[in-house]
Structure 1
């Protein structure tokens, strides 16, 4: 078995992990930044007077977003529900269905953080084995070549650890962003529901006269 080929395969896998990690970091970073801005903007705009999505500012409705999807679903359905308990159950189901979107593709980053050091260690082991095999065949005729082979093998471990450290930093940062976004989604859920609940206590006309429900 050619250990040199396996050693190179381990390097290619680590380069692929690095490229995939960069893609996930950039994509999720843009998504979290945009979603957080939209959530904060909607939170400020969602007053008790807002009963329909069309009453929100145009700049918040012009582009689709996770917070807007949550608010839209609740505002569209809450006037057709019979009781506050039904509204509470429906809003909870909408929140649970939408919050899962913020976790998308993070499992890839988590897997890379775990796998990269192991691939690096595998590359180092294969590289050292290949170096020792070369020594067994030709002996120590060129110490510099042996040192270079071992250095290349150890580079695999350093590369794997480096990928894992960068990935872990962004993974933990994204977890903090997820908590913040979920907190804002909960606030939006409550504000989208409270207009209907408060409105049920207001006087309403009945046969030409005001009737208190």
Structure 2
């Protein structure tokens, strides 16, 4: 069995994990920064007077974002729901559906954090086995070659641990970002649900109520 080949494969797998972790770190970092900025801006714009998406600033509605999707989904149907309980259930379902998008791809980073040290340890073991096989064939005629082989084997462990440490740092950092984004999404959900009967629907209901009252007075007279 060619242990050197398996040793090289372990290295290639760790290089692939490092590249994949870097992609996830950059992509999720850009997504979290953009989503958090949009959530803060939208939270400032979402006053109690806002009852429709068209009443929001154009700069917030022009580009798609996770907070804007949540707010628009609630505002588009909240005047059509019969009761506050229906609105509460609908808004909770919208929040849960959008919250899942925040966790997207983070499982890859979590898996790499766990797998990278194991791959490094596997590469080290295979490298040491290959070094001992070489010793069994040629003997200890060249101590420098033995030290080089063991050093190369230990490099695999160092590489795996390094990948895991970097990945763990960003994974924990992004967990904190996720908590902040979810808090903003909850605030936006609550603000979007406020004043369900304010606006055109209320005006129509009030006009109908006045008509009924005046009709009743005329009939009474």
Tell me, yes or no, whether TM beats 0.5.
Answer: yes
Match of 2:206 among 204, 207, 210: 204
Distance 1:20 1:162 in 2: 14
**Where do 5+ consecutive residues of structure 1 fail to align?**
none
1:61 aligns with 61
Query: What is the Cα deviation at residue 54 of structure 1?
Result: 1.1
Distance 2:164 2:127 in 1: 20
Q: Normalising by the residue count of structure 1, what TM-score does the alignment of the two structures yield?
A: 0.95
Say whether the 8 Å CA contact 2:79–2:197 is kept in structure 1: no
Deviates more, 1:49-58 or 1:26-35: 49-58
Residue aligned with 1:51, SS: coil
1:101 aligns with 101
Query: What is the Cα deviation at residue 205 of structure 1?
Result: 2.3
Say what the alpha-carbon RMSD is for the aligned residues: 1.8
Deviates more, 1:190-199 or 1:38-47: 190-199
Deviates more, 1:130-139 or 1:191-200: 191-200
2:184 aligns with 184
Distance 1:73 1:201 in 2: 20
**Structure 2 residue 51 is the aligned partner of structure 1 residue 41:** no
Q: Normalising by the residue count of structure 2, what TM-score does the alignment of the two structures yield?
A: 0.91
State the aligned residue count: 211
Bigger Rg, which one:
2
2:72 aligns with 72
Distance 1:163 1:195 in 2: 50
**Where do 5+ consecutive residues of structure 2 fail to align?**
214-221
Query: What is the Cα deviation at residue 209 of structure 1?
Result: 5.5
Distance 2:194 2:212 in 1: 23
Distance 1:83 1:15 in 2: 56
Residue aligned with 1:18, SS: helix
